Structure 1
Amino acid sequence: MGHNGVMSQPALAPRNAFVGVLVVWAVAFLASIAVGIFVAEEWRVPWLLVAFGGVVLLSFAVQLRYGRTEGFIFRVGGSALGALLLMGVISVGFGLAALVT
């Protein structure tokens, strides 16, 4: 048999980066709901800030785990901004509920 050269490995399809963004948003949603339910009203805002800090760190970790440099800042920014908006809307809901009761 003749040697036809070195066979190359087929390129694997890259993982979907948007899944990491959705994971961060889901964690932000769950964290803000947990803070709203389990934390007293006067401590909600500080704990929401702590939860948001954790979500920002999670967004960095998820995107670093993804392992692609293209669009890193865009993905981390999208994760953090989406989480901020989501947590803000949920905190407004809890604030309005506190006014009613």
Structure 2
Amino acid sequence: MKGKKWILTALIIATPLAVQASCETVKADINQKIINNGVPANGFTLEIVPNDQAEQAGGQVVGHCENDSQKIVYKRGAEGDAPVPANTGTSQDAPSS
């Protein structure tokens, strides 16, 4: 009987880990598909967010996991990229002397 209790306890502890792993697996699969479609790996980010936060994440939902309780959100550009101001020029824009 003690063996059954330990097995049940181990399953209860391992279940959240397996659920998280499945979200990471889904995210990795989506990541690879996007890269295979020609998008550079540093050109986007994927984020796992709870369903109720998917709209606030500011990207496009491209997948779901954990029995549809989590969403995977795609955002263009690398994390931490700041938008480039419209008036930013290059040395070619400078008048020549």
TM-score over 0.5 (shorter chain): no
Q: TM-score under structure 2 normalisation?
A: 0.33
Greater strand fraction, Structure 1 or Structure 2:
2
Name which structure has the greater RCO, CA cutoff 8 Å, separation 6+.
1
